Amino acid sequence: MYQVPSSISAVDQIKLDISEQETFNLKERDICCPHCRFLIYKVYQDVSGHMRVRCPKCKRCYAVNLQMFRTMSRSTFVTLIRIIE
Ligand SMILES: [Zn+2]
């Protein structure tokens, strides 16, 4: 069972509860490392903007536009790599 740490204030807990309720109908998508494909984050469909991520597997850092980095099939990924090369 999930236990709420005692360091979270009541106001923050209310914010967390509201945030959780707001995600009820949102889909999640994966942000994977562009180099090794390791799953870095799971984000909701309404997220936007840029984020600096560090892959815990290969230790590389990237500035990521969250609208551009979506989970893609292996065949799409291979096609994009062929276009770039
Ligand atoms: Zn990586």
Domain boundaries, the chain: 27-84
Q: How far is the CA of 55 from the centre of ligand 1 (A)?
A: 5
Q: How far is the CA of 44 from the centre of ligand 1 (A)?
A: 21
Q: State residue 36's pLDDT score.
A: 93
Q: What is the percentage of the chain residues whose pLDDT exceeds 90?
A: 39
Q: State residue 15's pLDDT score.
A: 94
Q: How far is the CA of 40 from the centre of ligand 1 (A)?
A: 8
Average pLDDT over residues 52-64: 92
Q: Could you tell me the CA-to-CA distances from 78 to 51, 67, 85 in Å, in that order?
A: 24, 20, 11
Q: How far is the CA of 78 from the centre of ligand 1 (A)?
A: 17
Q: Could you tell me the CA-to-CA distances from 60 to 8, 16, 25, 37 in Å, in that order?
A: 32, 30, 33, 12
**Is the pLDDT higher at 61 or at 79?**
61
Q: Could you tell me the CA-to-CA distances from 43 to 8, 9, 11, 46, 54 in Å, in that order?
A: 23, 25, 24, 8, 15
Could you tell me the pLDDT band of residue 4, with boundaries at 50, 70 and 90? low
**Is the pLDDT higher at 62 or at 71?**
62
Q: How far is the CA of 20 from the centre of ligand 1 (A)?
A: 29
